[in-house]
Structure formats: C-alpha cells, structure tokens
Structure 1
Amino acid sequence: MSSPAADPARRRRKDARPQELLEAALALFVDKGFAATRAEEVAQAAGVSKGTLYLYFQSKEDLLKAVISHFVSQRIAATLGEIAQHTGPCGPVLRQGLADWWIEAHDSPAAGVFKLIISEVRNFPEIGRFYAQEVVEPAHAMLAALIRRGIASGEFRPLDPDLVVHSLILPLVMLCVHRHSLAPCVSPLSADAAQFIRHHVNLVVDGLQTGAPGLPPQDSACCGPSTRSLEPPSP
C-alpha cells in the first residue's frame, strides 16, 4: 500500500501527464515528422505507456490538434482578448504586442508548430483545416480588424488590410520555420531573432503611418470587409 504522503505526488504526476505528452509529441513531430512518429515513441518520451497516451488522446491526429491548440491557438485567444480591450492608437499595439508575441513564440517550442504544419499539412488535410480554423483565421481577423481601426481613425494610410496582415506575418512564420530547418545546418541569421522581429514589425508599421513616403495611396474601398483569408502555408 502506498503511504498517504505519496498520494499527492502521484496526483501531481497524473495532472502533469497531458502537458508532458504534448511536449514530447511536439519535439518528436518536429524532429521526425508527424507521419514517421509512432504513438509509442511519444508515450516512451513522456515516460508513460501507450495505453496511458490513449487515455488522454484518442488518436495521433487528436494529439497533433491538441499540440496546435496548446502551443499556438490558446496564446492567440489570449492576445485577442487583450487587443479587444485596447482603445488607444493601433501602431503601438503592433510594435510592442505583436513583436512580443512573436519573440516569445520563436523562442519557445511553439516555433516548431509552424515548421510542422508547412511540412505535413498537404498529407493531412483535416489537420490543415483545423490549423486554419484555430490559428490562421482568428489571427488574421484580429490583425485585419486592428488595421481597419487604424485606417478609420486616420492613423494608417488606406491600404488593403489583408495584404498588410500578410506582409506582417509571413516573414515571421518563415523565421520560425528557419529555426527548425535551415538554422541547425547552416550559419544562423546575421541578426538576433528578437532584433529581426522588432525591425520587421517597425518597418511595416512605419509604412502604414499616414504620410509615410514611398507608398502610393489606394482606393478607400480596399479597406472594407474582404473575403480573402490567409491560407495555411504549403510546402
């Protein structure tokens, strides 16, 4: 029989298992690829049995969805709440909040999700749809709404919000992909990742500012609701 003192420790271990499984899954999926990783490998890396893994996740696909949700979409949801409460100028939100989010994402295991999606999504369309619904669409809508707000207030020039979102996000996605693909094999970027992220966001926001030189004005109709959305990046 176990002693009463051991029970709390066992409960803590049980409560930590989902997190441990998600961390092990992400590391293996990024390193070996989703298709090549077996469920028992994830369980072994997390220090549990394969049966225990299936107590928490019904399939390997459900495990990958949980990885995406835990490491990316939950963070986006938290940021959505913060931006919804913001009432001041939009530029500082992008310069500080967006840059901080991507620096944290790049330096955390979350960066591996972007590489994983780009390399695997064509073979797993259901995962691609889940990623689009959980990550791409809410993030795109959040940023496009912020851009439109800045345009409406006169802070930003009347550019196409969807194109602005693409310009902001796609280089940052590729920075995360680089960390988990080329960076271990070739010379790293000449700039520090955080420095690059802030420089990139500032560059785009500077171009958005009313009166910024070098960009032609666009018809204000471009700033209305758009049916375009940012599709999950394909290999």
Structure 2
Amino acid sequence: MTDAKRKWNRRKEARPAEILEAALALFIENGFAATKLTDVAKEAGVAKGTLYLYFDTKEALFRAAVRHALTDNLGAVEQAAVVAEGSLAALVPKLLQQAATRIAGSRVPAILRLVLADGRAFPDLAAIWHEEVVSRMLNLLTGLITAGQARGEIRAGDPKLHAMSIVGPMITGVLYQEMFGDLEKPGLNLETLASQHADTVLRGLLTRPRDA
C-alpha cells in the first residue's frame, strides 16, 4: 500500500488533529503569509476540499492550531489554580514553573514569535492570540489578585497590572530563549528564572512575607 493510500485510509476522527499539526509546522517554518492552505492540505495528506470541511479560512485554521498547541499547557495552569484554592502564593510558583517547562518546551514560543513577526500585517493573528491566550491567563490571575486584595493578602494596586508583572518576565525569558538560545552557552535557565522571579514578585505583592 502506498503512503498516499495509507493517509486516505486513516480514521476521519484523526484528520483534524493531523491538519492542525501540519498547519503548525508550516506556520512556524514559513510564516503566516507564506503558508498556503494547499500546502497544509498536502502536508496533512488530505485534499484541499477536505481541509475546507473543517476550516474555511486561514485565520480559522490558525485559531484552531493555537488552541491545539495550548490546550494541554493552559489546561494545566488552570488546574493548578484550582488546586491552589485561590492562594496566589501557592499558584505563582507553579504557574511560572509551567511556563518554564511545559510551555517553553512546546511550540508556543515559536507561535508567539510568529504573531510578533506577522501581527502588524495580519491583525487577526494578534486578536486570536489575545483572545485565546493573553485574556485567558490575565483574567485568571486578575481574579485571584482581586480576591486576595479583598482578603487583605495582596497589596493595593491595579489587579491587571499586578497580573502583568507576574507573567511579563517569563514571557520575555521564553522569547529570549527562543530567539537567542542557540547563541549563548549556557543559555538562559528558565526554571531558575521562574523560581527567582516567583520569590521576588510574591515578596512585592503579599502583605505578609512568604516566610513570616
């Protein structure tokens, strides 16, 4: 049996995931503008008409690909928030370690670099990233910070700005490693950054010291 026949004999249920994997690889390698739906279909081993059954535009395909890449990672972060039971002191170290290990080791940094590179020419990319990632994480943290302020555990200040101060350095670190990791030996240790930043930011946010 030829490779082409094997691809067509796969279960239909597997096709969307295979299309998304192919799309991710091509978006990351070629950029959004240069990636054609016909190339994605070819890479996934499906007819272009089959691809259109699932995704009617390239933007819709990109949105689904982002969700596909982030589902496990963001789900783990949200689960950590549940386990932390609303405690920012318990959540922040886990959240930053997730960024250092799960997210940094995935395709997420490459997707973020793609959004930064092509976002001005294709504003929908930035909107998709904001809706699927940024708002989701900032809303989670902002809610926890607001609740902590009401209990007197978190210092006064704009909860959203506090949330940005938590995640900002890790985003910078992940991007730094993505862009310059091959140029530095040893490269940036993201797990060390996560640990140090968690301690620093919590000492600034909590009304009582962590070790009090």
Smaller-chain TM-score bracket:
0.7 to 0.9
Shift of 1:161: 1.8
Q: TM-score, with normalisation over the residues of structure 2? A: 0.80
The correspondence for 1:171, drawn from 169, 172, 182, is 169
Shift of 1:85: 6.7
Question: What corresponds to 2:202 in structure 1?
Answer: 205
- Higher RCO, Cα 8 Å, sep 6+: 1
**Bigger share in helix:** 2
The correspondence for 1:26, drawn from 24, 27, 31, is 24
Distance 1:174 1:101 in 2: 11
Question: What corresponds to 1:193 in structure 2?
Answer: 190
Distance 1:114 1:207 in 2: 28
Question: What corresponds to 1:51 in structure 2?
Answer: 49
Which structure 2 residues correspond to residues 72-111 of structure 1 after superposition, within 5 A? 72=70, 75-76=73-74, 79-80=77-78, 83=81, 86-87=84-85, 89-111=87-109
For structure 1, list consecutive stretches of 5 or more residues without a partner in the other structure.
Answer: 1-6, 213-235
CA-atom RMSD, angstroms?
A: 2.8
- Tell whether the 8 Å contact from 2:96 to 2:170 is kept in structure 1 after alignment: no
Which structure 2 residues correspond to residues 152-171 of structure 1 after superposition, within 5 A? 152-171=150-169
Question: What corresponds to 2:3 in structure 1?
Answer: none
Distance 1:203 1:43 in 2: 47
Distance 1:26 1:188 in 2: 28
| Aligned-partner residue type, residue 122 of structure 2 | F
Q: Percent identity of the aligned residues?
A: 33
- Tell whether the 8 Å contact from 1:95 to 1:205 is kept in structure 2 after alignment: no
Secondary structure, in 3 states, of the residue corresponding to 1:37?
coil
Shift of 1:98: 4.3
CA spacing shift, 1:87–1:128, aligned 2, 3 Å = same
CA spacing shift, 1:152–1:102, aligned 2, 3 Å = farther
Q: TM-score, with normalisation over the residues of structure 1? A: 0.73
Shift of 1:64: 0.5
Distance 1:192 1:78 in 2: 21
Question: What corresponds to 1:228 in structure 2?
Answer: none
CA spacing shift, 1:42–1:88, aligned 2, 3 Å = closer
